[in-house]
Chain A
Amino acid sequence: MVLSGWESVFFWVFALSALVAGLLTVMARNAVHSALFLISTLVSVAALFVLLGAEFIAGVQILVYVGGVMVLFLFVIMLVNVSAEERGSEELFNRTGQVTAAVCFVALLVFGLFYAVNQSAGSFASNRSEGAGAARLRTAETGVSKISEDTQRVGASLYRYGALPFEIASLLLLVAIVGSVLLARTSKQELVADDVDPRVIPELSAAGELTPAEIEAAARAKAFEV
């Protein structure tokens, strides 16, 4: 990305807003406010992706993080009682450990950033001849701009070179989903919700997951309901 004209203006606006919102994320007292600032950071970063010409990543970032992950975060925050933390009057950054950890982490990040910039310093020059690449692209329907081939490139490299890691990652997610469903509901809860096949109940009680008292209590509750 070569910064010039409006591009640089947008870059600075979004970079600064990402930084400020990121700071506010850790400084806000209210957990919902924190989540909202995190959303602002993610949106700003998505805008930076657009400036880099990675439209697909920007779209996926908003779809997955803002529309999916953060919505579920908010879902959890709203259900959990966090008022004790909100009312607390402790000052931020008042512990030596906190400050040391933060400084170390920032130092690592800065080091990594400079290393990355140094490594890729040479390759920016070759990217400057974007005019030649843009000429090959299809004209957009508006007639004035070109349409990029970013999505096609991501798809092609993902399925050509990254197919195995891609499949492994999706399998991992599937296992996580099954695991969380298993962890979330105990057989007692299922019994109360009348969601257990009666043929399974003896097995469960033999395995010690359900006590006879629980079964009886559930039965009584249900008999009351019906």
Chain B
Amino acid sequence: MTSTFALFAPPNFLDDLLLRFFGEQTVNYVVWPFIQIGAVITLVAVWALYASYLERKISAFMQARLGPMRVGKWGLLQPIADAVKLLTKEDLVPEKADPYIFRYAPYISVAATFITFSVVPFAPDWGVITDVNIGLLFVLSISSVGVLALILAGWSSNSKYALLGGLRSSAQMVSYEVSMGLSLVGALMFARTLSLSGITTAQASDSVWFIAYQPLAFAIFLISGIAENNRAPFDLPEAESELVAGFHTEYSGMRWSLFFMAEYAAMVVVAGVATTVFLGGWYFPGVYRLAGGSNNLYVFLSLVVFIVKMAVLLYLYFWLRWTFPRYRYDQLMDLGWKWMIPASLLNIVWTAVTIFVLQALDGRLDTVESLNRGVNLTGQGKGVAVFMGFAGLFIAALFLAYLNRHSRDFNLKKQRREIKLVDVPKGAPAVARAAADNA
């Protein structure tokens, strides 16, 4: 409960206290941000610790087992025991590894993930660490730096499994980054800003979540986000059955756990961005009235709303991991390049059409209220936008089916049968026929 009270502690009181020691500028630009950063880093680190516990418990729940039960009540202290084990393990560096890169790759991974938290608006007012004009671009660019850590770890280990894992991860993350970035553009057209706080305000001032306008983009973002985090069913870079452990095969102890910390923190980043852009961020109808004029209570309740929304998405991660089998490598690339990217491009075009229709209808139906904070729509306008959004799902299905009508099927056997000529015996390769013709 102590943490709850700490969050309830009125920042006004803290502000007064700080102002007695520092100047106003220092408090606003240095001390407060540091307090916020400290709080976020602590919370995310605790989450990374307990995510491993959640992972085991949820998998156990899905497989009708108990999961960790020995250390503490319901095994609640298991992560602490794990942390102690990892901290006291020997820090091995392979003899032929590149020592510097091998040592620093985990730090790049963790830093790239943690920096992105600085622009995520957890709540209005003091729930925002910083609000920059390029917020969303910042998240995308810094998380793309995280790929480097994986490649460098894979290369510097000087082991073939690690190298293969690193190469796979770079190919996978570069491909899915594209659809991830493109899927956000549609929502940006409605928000008219890249600032994450601005996107939330655009949704709050319209009392609508962008998932209603952009269901297709939300699905694309979620799938690409899971692929970007190398989570199952896209965990090819660390596929246990083929690559031992992928890029972190040679790592042990704390450096190994840093990679996991980064992975769990990156899940929070993707969930946080998905929440902010598509699920309305900290906005929930009625929260403002519930707070009854108390600003701090309002911020705290908004924080709770944000965390609950994120928790739903994070549960989805675990759920998917323990439900779906891993993709084969070519299927992964097919999904990325032939389905996700065309779908996200179509979404951009369709959103532009939607906004054009809204503006064209404005004379007759009164759809657009103002363009102040994003595209503010009237009730009728919202109806049109939601209709167009869900119509986009069907159009995307038709478009993708048409686009991929000749593409490789996920079922290789079926595809082989279809590509072969009719009179070639089932299962015999395509070239057999041509060779027979030549002979």
Contact = CB atoms under 8 A, between A and B. Distances in A.
Interface in A159-211: 191, 194, 196-199, 201-202, 205
Contacts of A79: 167
B137 A63 contact: yes
B434 A215 contact: yes
A24 interface: no
Nearest to A58: B134
A199 B430 CA distance: 9
A145 B152 CA distance: 37
Interface in B383-439: 419-421, 424, 427-435, 437-439
A71 B148 contact: yes
A63 B144 contact: yes
Contacts of B427: 226
Contact of A56 (B134, B155, B428, B433): B134
Contacts of B303: none
A215 B170 contact: no
Contacts of A140: 128, 130-132, 195, 197
Question: Taking chain B's interface residues, is the majority helix, strand, or loop, or is none over half, making it mixed?
Answer: helix
B433 A71 contact: no
A196 B132 contact: no
B147 A71 contact: yes
A15 interface: no
Given A66-B144, A67-B177, A198 B433 contact: yes
B435 A219 contact: yes
Contacts of A198: 419-421, 424, 430-431, 433-434
Interface in B154-188: 155-156, 163, 166-167, 170-171, 173-174, 177, 181
Contact of A36 (B101, B137, B197): B101
B273 to A, nearest CB: 15
Contact of B430 (A68, A75, A151, A197): A197
B434 A202 contact: yes
A21 interface: no
Given A56-B137, A78-B167, A72 B429 contact: no
Contacts, number: 160
A159 to B, nearest CB: 12
Contacts of B138: 59
Interface string B297-312: 0000000000000000
Contact of A78 (B163, B173, B437): B163
Contacts of A66: 141, 144-145, 148
Contact of B174 (A68, A194, A199): A68
A149 B131 CA distance: 13
Question: Taking chain A's interface residues, is the majority helix, strand, or loop, or is none over half, making it mixed?
Answer: helix
Nearest to B163: A78
A59 B101 contact: no
Contacts of A191: 431
Q: What's the interface size class on B, roughly?
A: 35 or more
A219 B145 CA distance: 44
B334 interface: no
B335 to A, nearest CB: 18
Interface residues of A, number: 51
A32 interface: yes
A144 B430 CA distance: 68
B379 to A, nearest CB: 27
A157 to B, nearest CB: 16
A156 interface: no
B133 A144 contact: no
A145 B125 CA distance: 12
A212 interface: yes
A201 B433 CA distance: 10
Contacts of B198: 141, 147
Interface of B: 28-29, 98, 101, 121, 124-125, 128-134, 137-138, 140-142, 144-145, 147-148, 151-152, 155-156, 163, 166-167, 170-171, 173-174, 177, 181, 193-195, 197-198, 201, 419-421, 424, 427-435, 437-439
Closest 9 CB pairs of A and B: A67-B144, A141-B197, A222-B429, A63-B141, A219-B435, A140-B131, A201-B434, A59-B137, A62-B141
23 contacts: A39-B148, A59-B140, A62-B145, A63-B137, A67-B147, A67-B177, A71-B151, A74-B152, A75-B151, A140-B197, A141-B121, A144-B29, A147-B195, A147-B198, A198-B424, A198-B433, A201-B431, A215-B435, A216-B435, A216-B438, A223-B429, A223-B432, A226-B429
